[in-house]
Structure 1
């Protein structure tokens, strides 16, 4: 139920589209989330799942008892390569649950600078740069979130992935 509320409530996916039966969509979405949780956990006995709520609107939050991590997607076209920590969005996500939960940047265009994250104490659990779009290849294409330099310069990517506060796959402990 990724991005259930869509961008500004426009309902990108079937689970977030406008309803015609008078039931508020956020409420219906919460019921669907809770039904999925109940079915997978209580009926099928799946207790090894991590429940990541990815909502852009706190009204769609299904509840602390059925969410492990809160997350948000940010495609900030106004960043202009300042690579800010995205503090306002982090605080909104952090304040959505009643109980303290880890906060993730589930999709992004610009990668926040780890030094700015530390300065602002916007401790994103993870970030995931959205992959390249289907547009033309090249470093200046706005459709290329990762390989190009339209969003993240090669120098910035090197800084982020070599930063001591960023854990990459090769630095993960062996489980």
Structure 2
């Protein structure tokens, strides 16, 4: 059952599907963050298929992007990401695929360039979790801004795999810079606000860290996940990584590879019954070239009987 007691029927249907498929199949996923979505075109060209799950990025929808003090790389990334919500709508309404959102959140105040990175902002997440501070007010303001975007999907009864504060175990993003306990508090603040204030009952809550310390609690998490970047063309079942991840809670949760640089070895995953529900290859060269995963392996993965591709995805909403 979803952690949100008021979760929509569509969320319940997706959660049931994820629970039932884990250990019996592997949902194929691909992240995209640009309007042209080269990754999807590449996969279709090589395999003749599309992933069942598509990832989208909300970075350009951050309210506090410092355009005046950003480098060319940052500005290009923001520009390429603009209006990608149109592609997200096409994916769910026309392709009928599953969807997940990530948010490289430009710091709510302060910062320059890619200020979702700790090195480019002095925004203090440890102050942001304290009510009454300027940092907290800015945090809530940004959350509310994105909530309005998510409400459009709610109103159309579209369930979203929502993966906020990703890679919370690291210090490279501002939300992890002050340690896992602060990241835990940030997540719980968002959960409470999105569930009890904005009534975003279309969200499936995905926690993204393998650390037991900082886990926000079973009552606010639907799926546990982690991000992994093995060496180029090294494909395994990721069994040790799975066993480490499930140590963060004694409760059986749906498990997923929130980001990965190469396809898992789907034959080994199937043979060992490792219940990853989905994997999601990251964008750009990870998903649109053969640098990390060869065309031969990509084709074999998408045509494996264990793989759940878009054409094998049941109608869930």
Query: TM-score w.r.t. structure 1 length?
Result: 0.80
Q: 3-state DSSP class of the match of 2:287?
A: coil
**In structure 2, C-alpha distance between the alignment counterparts of 1:12 and 1:56, rounded to whole Å:** 16
How many residues are matched?
A: 152
**In structure 2, C-alpha distance between the alignment counterparts of 1:76 and 1:82, rounded to whole Å:** 6
Please say if residues 210 and 244 of structure 2, whose CA atoms lie closer than 8 Å, have aligned partners that are also in contact: no
Aligned counterpart in structure 2 of residue 146 of structure 1, from 265, 287, 293: 287
| Equivalent in the alignment of 1:111 | 263
When the two chains are superposed, the root-mean-square deviation of aligned CA atoms in Å is 1.5
Aligned counterpart in structure 2 of residue 126 of structure 1, from 278, 285, 293: 278
The structure with the largest helix share of the pair is: 2
**In structure 1, C-alpha distance between the alignment counterparts of 2:279 and 2:300, rounded to whole Å:** 15
Are residue 87 (structure 1) and residue 228 (structure 2) matched? no
**In structure 1, C-alpha distance between the alignment counterparts of 2:312 and 2:273, rounded to whole Å:** 22
Please say if residues 281 and 287 of structure 2, whose CA atoms lie closer than 8 Å, have aligned partners that are also in contact: yes
Are residue 15 (structure 1) and residue 205 (structure 2) matched? no
| Equivalent in the alignment of 1:4 | 168
**In structure 2, C-alpha distance between the alignment counterparts of 1:53 and 1:89, rounded to whole Å:** 15
Please say if residues 108 and 128 of structure 1, whose CA atoms lie closer than 8 Å, have aligned partners that are also in contact: yes
Q: Is the alpha carbon distance of 1:32 and 1:148 closer, same or farther for their aligned partners in structure 2, counting shifts above 3 Å?
A: same
CA shift, 1:94, in A, is 2.0
Matches within 5 A, 1:17-32: 17-18=177-178, 25-32=179-186
Unaligned runs of at least 5 residues, structure 1: 19-24, 133-143
| 1:20-56 C-alpha deviation (Å, 9 max, x unpaired) | xxxxx22222111111111111222222210000013
| Equivalent in the alignment of 1:56 | 210
Please say if residues 4 and 12 of structure 1, whose CA atoms lie closer than 8 Å, have aligned partners that are also in contact: no
CA shift, 1:85, in A, is 0.4
Query: TM-score w.r.t. structure 2 length?
Result: 0.46
Please say if residues 237 and 268 of structure 2, whose CA atoms lie closer than 8 Å, have aligned partners that are also in contact: yes
CA shift, 1:76, in A, is 1.1
CA shift, 1:82, in A, is 4.3
